[in-house]
Structure 1
Amino acid sequence: MTSNTESKVQYALCFHCDLLSELPDITNHHKAICPRCHTRLARASLHMKRDTLIYSICALIMLILACSFIFIHIRVVGNTNNLNLLEISTLLLEDHYISLMFLFVLFVLSLPILSLSIQIIVCSNLPLSKFRKRDLMILYDKLSHWSMPEIFMAGVLVSFVKLTNYGDIGIDQAFWAFCLFIIFQLKSTLEFSSRKIWNEIATFNFVNSKLLPGKIGIKQNIRLCLCCHAILPALQRHCPRCKQKGKLRENDKIQWTMALLITSLILYIPANLYGIMNTIFLGSASSSTIIDGVIYMWQEGDYPVALVIFTASIIIPVLKILALSWLCCFVLFKHQKKQRDCIKMSRLYKMVEFIGRWSMIDIFVVAVISTLIRNGELISVYPDIGVIYFAAVVIITMIASHQYDPRLIWDKH
Structure 2
Amino acid sequence: MQQHYQVSQHYALCHHCDIMCELPSIGQEHQAVCPRCHTKLARKQTNMQLNTILYSSCALVMLLLSTCFIFIHIKVIGIVDNLSLLSIPNILYEYQYSSLMLLFLLFILIFPICALVIQLILCSPINLSKYHKRNLLIAHGKLSHWCMPEIFMAGVLVSFVKLASYGEIGVDNAFWSFALFVFFYLKSSIDFSSRHFWNEVASNNFVKTDLQPGKTGISQNIRLCLHCHAMLPAGLLRCPRCKYKGKLRQKNSIQWTIALLLTSLMFYLPANIYGIMNTVFLGSASSSTILDGVIYMWQEGDYPVALVIFSASVTIPILKILALSWLCYFVLVVKKKNKDDCLQMNRLYNIVEFIGRWSMIDIFVVSVISALIRNKEMMSVYPDIGAIFFASVVVITMIASQKYDPRLIWDKN
- TM tier relative to shorter chain: over 0.9
1:366 aligns with 2:366: yes
Q: Output the amino acid matched with 2:291.
A: I
Structure 2 unpaired stretches of 5+: 1-7
Deviation per CA, 1:64-111: give whole Å up to 9, x if none.
011111111100111111111001111111222111110100100011
Deviation at 1:279, TM superposition (A): 0.2
Distance between the aligned counterparts of 2:254 and 2:140, measured in 1? 25
Structure-to-structure mapping, 1:233-244, within 5 angstroms: 233-244=233-244
Secondary structure of the residue aligned to 1:243 is coil
Deviation per CA, 1:351-379: give whole Å up to 9, x if none.
00000000000000000000000111311
Match of 1:260 in 2: 260
Match of 2:52 in 1: 52
Secondary structure of the residue aligned to 1:229 is coil
User: Conserved in 2, the CA contact under 8 Å of 1:223 and 1:234?
Assistant: yes
Distance between the aligned counterparts of 1:84 and 1:106, measured in 2? 17
Secondary structure of the residue aligned to 2:341 is helix
Match of 1:4 in 2: none
Distance between the aligned counterparts of 2:170 and 2:9, measured in 1? 56
1:201 aligns with 2:192: no
Secondary structure of the residue aligned to 1:9 is strand
Structure-to-structure mapping, 1:38-187, within 5 angstroms: 38-187=38-187
Distance between the aligned counterparts of 1:64 and 1:298, measured in 2? 37
Secondary structure of the residue aligned to 1:23 is strand
Deviation at 1:219, TM superposition (A): 0.6
Distance between the aligned counterparts of 1:96 and 1:79, measured in 2? 25
Structure-to-structure mapping, 1:23-38, within 5 angstroms: 23-38=23-38
Distance between the aligned counterparts of 1:27 and 1:48, measured in 2? 14
Structure-to-structure mapping, 1:189-228, within 5 angstroms: 189-228=189-228
Distance between the aligned counterparts of 1:112 and 1:29, measured in 2? 25
List structure 1 segments (4+ residues) > 6 angstroms apart after TM superposition: none
Distance between the aligned counterparts of 1:30 and 1:70, measured in 2? 42
1:274 aligns with 2:274: yes
Distance between the aligned counterparts of 1:46 and 1:197, measured in 2? 15
Distance between the aligned counterparts of 2:172 and 2:29, measured in 1? 36
Distance between the aligned counterparts of 2:96 and 2:273, measured in 1? 22
Deviation per CA, 1:285-308: give whole Å up to 9, x if none.
000000111111111111111110
Secondary structure of the residue aligned to 1:73 is strand
User: Conserved in 2, the CA contact under 8 Å of 1:49 and 1:192?
Assistant: yes
Secondary structure of the residue aligned to 1:330 is helix
Deviation at 1:125, TM superposition (A): 1.1
Q: Output the amino acid matched with 2:319.
A: L
Deviation at 1:43, TM superposition (A): 1.1
Distance between the aligned counterparts of 2:143 and 2:102, measured in 1? 15
Distance between the aligned counterparts of 2:26 and 2:127, measured in 1? 29
Structure-to-structure mapping, 1:344-355, within 5 angstroms: 344-355=344-355
1:392 aligns with 2:392: yes
User: Conserved in 2, the CA contact under 8 Å of 1:373 and 1:379?
Assistant: yes
Q: Output the amino acid matched with 2:277.
A: M
Match of 1:5 in 2: none
Q: Output the amino acid matched with 1:370.
A: S
Q: Output the amino acid matched with 1:312.
A: A
User: Conserved in 2, the CA contact under 8 Å of 1:71 and 1:171?
Assistant: yes
Secondary structure of the residue aligned to 2:287 is strand
Structure 1 unpaired stretches of 5+: 1-7
Q: Output the amino acid matched with 2:123.
A: C
Deviation at 1:47, TM superposition (A): 1.2
Distance between the aligned counterparts of 2:216 and 2:225, measured in 1? 15
Q: Output the amino acid matched with 1:106.
A: L
Q: Output the amino acid matched with 1:337.
A: K
User: Conserved in 2, the CA contact under 8 Å of 1:280 and 1:377?
Assistant: no
Match of 2:4 in 1: none
Deviation at 1:9, TM superposition (A): 2.0
Deviation at 1:36, TM superposition (A): 0.2
Distance between the aligned counterparts of 2:71 and 2:104, measured in 1? 15
User: Conserved in 2, the CA contact under 8 Å of 1:276 and 1:290?
Assistant: yes
Distance between the aligned counterparts of 2:312 and 2:262, measured in 1? 20
Q: Output the amino acid matched with 1:234.
A: A
Deviation per CA, 1:169-224: give whole Å up to 9, x if none.
01111111111111111111111111110000111100000001111101111010
User: Conserved in 2, the CA contact under 8 Å of 1:373 and 1:381?
Assistant: yes
